[in-house]
Copies of this chain bind each other. A is one copy, B any other.
């Protein structure tokens, strides 16, 4: 197959881990007879520095025409003084909205080599394997009005959804659950929000179409508790944008494997943007210390979700698992024995596997 992939390295260690992704994908293409073409574009702080905006038009154009997009990381102290609208994160929010990437998939799995680095007790966290499906282009993030009153004495943000937006993300939740352990937890705040009450109705409607999936409703405060007390009880969580932001970050630290977590942001036609959950880590940028595994696992998500290359994706996931099993790790992973590798050497190991 021929696929065109846009690479957005972004800032900090984004550049290094993107190199790892590209090398991995080149190896996959070669061994499986695919042709992947790559095109690099600017986003975030790097784009601010070169073009004066976190999301240049060329980037949106190129990403819009690609079969998939890979993103490294954006942001850093260098741009922290800028006013809201000009900051690196705006590039991220902008590309999600402009490409229509409505579904953010964040799997959280415990790698047994790293469970000891979890803040949770081993018996609480082991067997955790959950997926958060977060709505990504609606809600408080994009609702209008979002402004101060004219006299500056008040302020308003708007949590806004169309029924269609709720329907498509709820369906994504059911579809994801169907491919996993068939348990869906829909998280809302239906005892307070009207949007949550519509959300609950939509879930009740859609569940008729998915009789094989068991579905429960949970309030967001209860979900925030249960993620800590019993994360292994969850399979798929589906929720709106802001709740998803909070819960997916909470979930990301449970297993001690933050440096290994990939994510996907999907459009209705399956085109997607894939990125590691970790940030741009400016403190170690350029030192070949970055952990490329979350980025590499993001390419596996890309192969699976955007290119239907299940087998190739599995190979990458297995290779990562085997490299960890063999005792290799990067400096960020608090593994007590084994061999510490730099970003490049780790990438080579994975490719060898």
Contacts and interface: CB of A to CB of B under 8 A. Distances in A.
B250 A250 contact: yes
A245 interface: yes
A318 interface: no
Tell which of A84, A124, A242 has the most Cβ of chain B within 10 Å: A242
Contact of A250 (B146, B147, B148, B224): B224
B162 A143 contact: no
Contacts of A154: 160-163
Contacts of A126: none
Interface in A53-108: 84, 87, 89, 93
Contact of A190 (B84, B160, B195): B84
Interface in A222-242: 222, 224-225, 227-230, 242
A190 B90 CA distance: 12
Contact of A148 (B84, B119, B198): B198
Interface residues of A, number: 57
A34 interface: no
Contacts of A163: 152-155
Nearest to A258: B225
Tell which of A141, A158, A230 has the most Cβ of chain B within 10 Å: A158
A332 interface: no
A249 interface: yes
A221 B194 contact: no
Tell which of A118, A221, A222 has the most Cβ of chain B within 10 Å: A221
A309 interface: no
B198 A225 contact: no
A249 B229 contact: no
A239 to B, nearest CB: 11
A121 interface: yes
A228 B119 contact: yes
Contacts of A153: 162-164
A89 B191 contact: yes
Given A220-B246, A246-B220, A84 B159 contact: no
A224 B195 contact: no
A120 interface: yes
A156 interface: yes
Given A119-B124, A246-B221, A155 B198 contact: yes
Contacts of A247: 224
Given A153-B164, A156-B143, A161-B155, A225 B249 contact: yes
22 contacts: A84-B190, A84-B197, A119-B120, A121-B121, A140-B159, A140-B192, A140-B193, A143-B156, A148-B198, A153-B164, A155-B162, A155-B195, A155-B198, A156-B194, A157-B195, A224-B224, A224-B247, A224-B249, A224-B250, A225-B249, A225-B250, A250-B250
